[in-house]
């Protein structure tokens, strides 16, 4: 059973939450997020809190209960302070630059890699450190994972994209006789 959604979710100062049917709208100083949730979870407002109740007791509803609570908490946190992920590009000749609404990468391929930046995200590239930020936690994580998938870090020299807090386990190369 989920302990996340058992307790009411407090709304932080400066944030307004509105619920219409199963659509939750969260407005804050950094922007606005709108999300529609499954009808098996009832979302209600009571004063300065959001209360979630289950409509049923099957496994699917119980798993949704905590997920909906986490999504709402992430929405409230994102409109106050944006989420940020940093990617570090390592490798000789590997370059990154932001040009307009696209991220241009030179990753050692025979062609440059151009990735369109999604709406609502801010991307900056400084000396092979790419910073991705936005109010939607899911969009920030999804875009950073897509950029990382273009050139995953390899275990011998560590070339490729890695998160700033990620540790790459290095392998020993060939031994000479």
26-to-12, 78, 105, 152 alpha-carbon distances in Å: 11, 10, 35, 35
What is the residue extent of each domain of the chain? 9-80, 83-163
Distance CA 92, CA 157 (A): 11
Which pLDDT score, from 0 to 100, does residue 2 have? 56
What number is the average pLDDT over the span 66-70? 91
Closest to 39 measured CA to CA, from 57, 66, 21: 21
Distance CA 108, CA 174 (A): 23
Q: What digits encode the pLDDT tens for the residues 70-81?
A: 999 999 999 999
What number is the average pLDDT over the span 101-110? 93
The answer on pLDDT for 83 being more than 60 is yes
For domain 9-80, the CATH architecture is Alpha-Beta Complex (3.90)
Q: CATH for 83-163, among 2.40.110.10, 3.90.930.12, 3.30.70.260, 3.40.50.150?
A: 3.90.930.12
The answer on pLDDT for 3 being more than 90 is no
Instruction: Please indicate whether the domains covering 9-80 and 83-163 agree at the CATH topology level.
Output: yes
Which pLDDT score, from 0 to 100, does residue 4 have? 73
Q: Are 115 and 147 in contact (CB under 8 A)?
A: yes
pTM for the predicted model, two decimal places: 0.88
Q: Are 128 and 88 in contact (CB under 8 A)?
A: yes
Q: How far is CA 102 from the centre of its chain?
A: 19
Reduced to 3 states, what is the DSSP secondary structure of residue 12?
A: coil
What mean pLDDT value characterizes the chain? 91
Could you tell me the pLDDT band of residue 56, with boundaries at 50, 70 and 90? confident
Which pLDDT score, from 0 to 100, does residue 5 have? 75
């Amino acid at each position: 059973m989920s302990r996340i959604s058992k307790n009411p979710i407090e709304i932080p100062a400066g944030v307004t939450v509105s619920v219409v049917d199963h659509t939750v709208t969260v407005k804050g100083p950094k922007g606005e997020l709108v999300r529609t949730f499954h009808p098996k979870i009832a979302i209600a407002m009571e004063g300065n809190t959001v209360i979630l109740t289950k409509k049923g007791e099957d496994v699917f509803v119980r798993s949704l209960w905590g997920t909906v609570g986490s999504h709402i908490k992430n929405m409230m946190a994102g409109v106050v302070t944006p989420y940020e992920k940093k990617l570090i590009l390592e490798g000789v000749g590997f370059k990154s630059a932001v040009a307009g609404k696209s991220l241009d990468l030179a990753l050692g391929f025979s062609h440059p890699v151009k990735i369109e930046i999604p709406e609502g995200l801010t991307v900056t590239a400084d000396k092979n450190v790419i910073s991705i930020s936005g109010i939607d936690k899911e969009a920030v994580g999804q875009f950073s994972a897509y950029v990382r998938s273009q050139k995953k870090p390899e275990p011998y020299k560590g070339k490729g994209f890695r998160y700033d807090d990620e540790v790459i386990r290095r392998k020993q190369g060939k031994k000479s006789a």
